[in-house]
Structure 1
Amino acid sequence: MDPEVDIIEFQVPVENNKTLFIWDIQPSFTEAFIYERLWSVFSSFGPLYLLKVCPNAAVARPGFYALVKFYSAVQASKAQRSTDKRTLFQSTPVKVQLSTKRNNPHSNPHNIKPLSHSRCQELANHCLGFNGWCTRILTLKELSSDPEDDQGRSQEEKTLRYGCLVELSFPQHTPATSRGVAVVEETYNNTGPEICGQKHSKLRRWVRDKAVVQAFSTVLVIMLGNGKVLIEVREDRDQLQPEDNPEGEIQVNEVSWSDLNPEQEEEDWELTVS
């Protein structure tokens, strides 16, 4: 593959070639100052998923180290070559290397986590522009709950379940489209119409965002060396197509409310430098 071809996916980057480890940062600066300067330097190479600054361990000499995660391996490589052994914002050079995460024997390499809804939006806007993509709700409706789910619950408890089907399209890359589907539910104490209205509004928003995330999960942004951007949608057997669902019915596995927090993206800091 052409080394100038860059492929970006809408998923949490975990690959070693997308992660930079920076050390030999002088102790004379505050963490906030270091964070601001490093963000300015490394975001100039491409969008960042993560930047963290930490003080050195007590057994080491005073100073700081940092972790930077790119969405793109090409951009991470360019950043490493351009910043290693450079002074950047201080009087002495820093060291910048690709990092190697320790293997976790219990981890599943195929368990890739999608980006949160807000991060999908940020990455799409960066790569495609604010007018380069749009979403359309095909179906958004309240679903009837299973009577067996209500067995053993008090009369004050109520279960809400919503389903949503959305279409993600790219006006400048027609006919590239992707569909996403989600079902969410929550059980709460039915204390009045105001609380019920708030729950309905919250679930409608969350199921829509979850469906958009699912639609983005099959999208590849291909950035060529000449500046041209291409969109490719991977085939997904679970993705609904018009001929599969002519009545707009939602047929997916249930997703519990506790699974929907997009900010629960845990970071593994057990890193060694290659």
Structure 2
Amino acid sequence: MAELLSFTIPAGSEKTLFVWELNPGPGPESLKHSLFTVFSQFGLLYSVRVFPNAPGATPGFYAIIKFYSARDACSAQKACDQKQLFQNSPVKVRLCTRRKMHQYPIHPLNSFKCQELANYYLGFNGWSKRIITLQKLSDFKVKENTSPIKSSARQSLKYFCALEVVLPAYSCRSPGAGIAEDYLEQLEGPLEFILKRKKTQKLAIQKALSDAFQKLLMVVLGK
């Protein structure tokens, strides 16, 4: 069965696993690494979060694991439930309880997560980006204090980026646009200006890249 994947933060109980009865011995960071190692074998993970059990409960931890694919989450649940995995006692793994009639908000992935998802399903050579323009929008002074005794101003650095994501194997191009802004304080010198300019340009490109990926849907066929 085919599954549609978008470049948005995974939402819905069918993509989220609840893992509990994790031993208290390892710390949360060690548990997070172990969980990621095990569950990433079933598919690309969006996040792994580890929490201590509630006060008064048996000492230990539980985890919330989000997949991009509901099919991968289901496979992981069936394979890992009641298994020891990386500890001496078995863990319990369940799909999170579905909330009836609950509408999950849709949030776009940031550019790093978009690239990670594209690389996983399309391959590192399966897509590319082409910057069409990276343009400075402003070069004006923004006054912060209009007092005649003491006044200061800062320069606005605002850049606009337009690009497209290209999928050559599918003859597909997806346009995206992004704007980023920062400010250069009056006392900052040429080096700070160069660093902030590069940072603002990079952020504009990242926003445009994320915007381009939002217009794409991937159809993942069953194994």
AA of the residue aligned to 1:150: V
Report the CA distance between 1:200 and its aligned residue: 1.4
Q: How many residues align?
A: 216
Map residues 141-180 of structure 1 onto 2, 5 A cutoff. 141-144=135-138, 150=142, 154=151, 156-174=153-171, 176-180=172-176
Residue type at the aligned position of 1:60: A
Alignment TM-score, normalising by the size of structure 1 = 0.72
Judged with a 3 Å threshold, the aligned counterparts in structure 2 of structure 1 residues 90 and 193 are, in CA distance, closer, same or farther, namely closer
Check if 1:116 corresponds to 2:113.
no
Secondary structure of 1:21 counterpart: strand
- 1:42-69: per-residue Cα shift (whole Å, max 9, x none)? 1011011111222212210112111101
1:181 partnered with 2:200: no
Residues 101-160 of structure 1 show CA distances to partners (whole Å, capped at 9, x for unaligned) of: 889x9xxx4742211111111111111111011000011110136x7x835555541111
Percentage identity across paired residues of the two chains? 40
CA contact (8 A) 2:12 2:104 kept: no
Does residue 1:201 correspond to 2:195, yes or no?
A: no
1:18 to 15, 20, 26: 15
- 1:201 match: secondary structure: helix
Residues of 1 paired with 2:137 and 2:40: CA distance?
43
**Residue of structure 1 in register with 2:122 after alignment:** 128
Aligned CA-pair RMSD: 2.3
Shift in alpha-carbon separation, 1:69–1:224, aligned structure 2, 3 A: same
Q: Which amino acid in 2 is paired with 1:118? A: F
Q: Which has the higher strand share?
A: 2
1:182-261 matches, cutoff 5 A: 182-190=178-186, 191-226=188-223
Distance in 1, matches of 2:9 and 2:47, equals: 10
Render the CA deviation track for 1:6-53: whole Å, top value 9, x for unaligned: 222111112111110001122333434322321121101101111122
Measured against aligned partners, the alpha-carbon deviations of 1:211-263 in whole angstroms (never above 9, x if no partner) come to: 0011111211211125xxxxxxxxxxxxxxxxxxxxxxxxxxxxxxxxxxxxx
Alignment of 1:39-78 (within 5 A): 39-78=36-75
* Kept in 1: contact 2:31–2:50 (CA 8 A): yes
Q: Which runs of 5+ in 2 are unaligned?
A: 146-150
Displacement over 6 Å in runs of 4+: none
The residue identity in structure 2 corresponding to 1:41 is: V
Structure 1 unmatched ranges of 5 or more = 227-274
3-state secondary structure, aligned to 1:118: helix
Distance 2:142 2:31 in 1: 53
Asked whether the equivalents of residues 142 and 153 of structure 2 are also in contact (C-alpha less than 8 Å), the reply is no
